[in-house]
Amino acid sequence: METGSLRQLGGADVVAEHLRTQIADIRLLPGDRLRQGALASKLGVGKPAVREGLRQLSGEGLIDLVTLEGARVRVVSRSSARELLEMSATLEGLAAKLSALNMQELGRERLADAFDLTQSDQGTFITSNLGFHTLIGELSGNRELAREIRKTRLLITLFELMARDRIEDPRQRQNEHLKIVEAIFGGRASAAEQAMSCHVEACAETLLQP
């Protein structure tokens, strides 16, 4: 979210959205400590707003609040990642289906751009992959679904950062992305849902290898 948009939020929401963006951009990593004073100074809010923002993210599972240690970016366990990916196969399959049914011209352009980003730079694939999946949630037209997908995808991204050695050649994911995009652009709702669900399940199989 841009700085201008952040200014429209309340103090706690500013903190929460700033940290979500930092996680999405991989500027925060699993286990990183979050210092209240530094956040308050950087964002121009009081410490009560910082504490409330941290509580919001704790409720979303993105950070851990540890007595006497403060806040840290969550280290997502393998068992939690399994459950998140199981959820995502269903939620994102539904989002792909709805996107195929609701696609508008601007949405087509945005999805094409997001797909192109996953092709352009292998070094930033985790970030562009997150953007691709969360955008399909947004294009579904269902705000609650989009919100849940974004939260879940941020957590999956945190796990991916700890499992980089188990991420397959990004070209395989990109081929699967292409099938999803083609089904959405063709208005083939059932095919889009199946392509997305199969894609997430295939990613889970790779990421969760012992």
Where do the structural domains in the chain lie, given as residue ranges?
A: 3-73, 78-207
| Residue 69 scores a pLDDT above 60 | yes
Instruction: Write out pLDDT tens, residues 159-190.
Output: 999 887 766 667 778 899 999 999 999 999 99
Tell me which DSSP letter residue 69 carries: T
| Residue 6 scores a pLDDT above 80 | no
Instruction: Write out pLDDT tens, residues 198-208.
Output: 999 999 998 99
% the chain with pLDDT above 90: 80
CATH number, span 78-207: 1.20.120.530
23: nearest Cα among 85, 66, 76, 94? 76
Would you say 61 and 74 are in contact if contact means Cβ atoms under 8 Å apart? yes
**pLDDT computed for residue 2 by the predictor:** 45
From residue 32, alpha-carbon distances to 26, 104, 143 in Å are 11, 40, 30
* 17 token code pair: 């959205």
| Residue 92 scores a pLDDT above 90 | yes
CATH topology of domain 3-73: Arc Repressor Mutant, subunit A (1.10.10)
| Residue 64 scores a pLDDT above 70 | yes
CA distance 31 to 18: 17
**pLDDT computed for residue 164 by the predictor:** 76
